[in-house]
Amino acid sequence: MLYFWSKFLKKIRGCAVKNSAIHRTSKIESGSNIVNTSMGRYSFCGYNCEIANCEIGSFCSISSNVVIGGGMHPMNWVSMSPVFYFGKDSVKAKFSRHKRELPLTTKIGHDVWIGQNVLIKQGVTIGTGAVIGMGSVVTKNVEPYTIVVGNPAKCIRKRFDDDTITKIIESKWWLFDEKRLIECAEYFANPKDFINYLEL
């Protein structure tokens, strides 16, 4: 019974989504704040995530406590404090209202898996099919179908050989409609069977 109430209280907090386009088949869990972001089909975002200025593809799996994008302080100014730049911030005082550069857009491809407690710097591109290991700090672009881990995140291996990766990317299966996905879903557990099916 305690478990039920704990889950209930966790979920009733709701999520905050602002200036964003989340596909109707996708899910944002409670406690997450999503701003200026788009998310494609059948993707999900776990609990307590902070995502800003991001383009997220379809079929992505984003675990809990993930931070993607966000703003940056102006390191080339005399001071980096928000009391000197335009906009509402934690500190109420404003000595000037200089405009900062617009934040860079972070791009997450299709079918990307992002583990718990990952931090992804603004402006980074994560390629389709990539895996970001939990706790990783991503400061540079990640190639498609690459597994990265660590702080800073580094490649440990690719998920498949180059020929398989090329053929899966060329298939663009994430654009298939529901009918075609149902037809070929039985082959998804084996990449070679999937490729053979498409080549018939």
What was the pLDDT predicted at 72?
83
Instruction: Give mean pLDDT, residues 6-33.
Output: 86
User: Given its phi and psi angles, is residue 69 left (phi above 0), alpha (psi -120 to 50 degrees) or beta?
Assistant: left
Task: Enumerate the β-bridge partners of residue 119.
Answer: 67, 137
Tokens of 12: 């009733």
What is the rounded radius of gyration, in angstroms, for the C-alpha atoms of the chain? 20
DSSP letter string, 27-63: EE-TT-EEEEEEE-TT-EE-TT-EEEEEEE-SS-EE-
Per-residue pLDDT at 88: 81
Over residues 40-56, the pLDDT tens digits come to: 999 999 999 999 999 99
State residue 82 phi and psi, 5-degree precision: -65, -10
Q: What is the average pLDDT value for the chain, to the nearest integer?
A: 93
CATH superfamily to which 2-72+103-159 belongs:
Hexapeptide repeat proteins (2.160.10.10)
**Which one from 23, 73, 98, 110 is the annotated catalytic residue?**
73
Contact 68, 49 (CB under 8 A): yes
Tell me the pLDDT tens digit for each residue of 54-94.
999 999 999 999 999 977 888 999 999 989 988 888 888 89
Query: What pLDDT, on the 0 to 100 scale, is given for residue 10?
Result: 67
Please report, for the chain, the start and end positions of each structural domain, with discontinuous segments joined by +.
Answer: 2-72+103-159, 160-200
Specify whether 110 is catalytic.
Answer: no
pLDDT per position as a tens digit, 103-139: 899 999 999 999 999 999 999 999 999 999 999 999 9
- Within 40-150, strands assigned E span 44-45, 50-56, 61-62, 67-69, 106-108, 113-114, 119-120, 125-126, 131-132, 137-138, 146-149
Average pLDDT over residues 10-25: 86
Neighbours of 37 (CB within 10 A): 25
Q: What is the pLDDT of residue 6?
A: 65
pTM exceeds 0.75, yes or no: yes
Measured between alpha carbons, how far is residue 50 from residues 57, 62, 66, 118, 194 in Å? 17, 11, 6, 11, 35
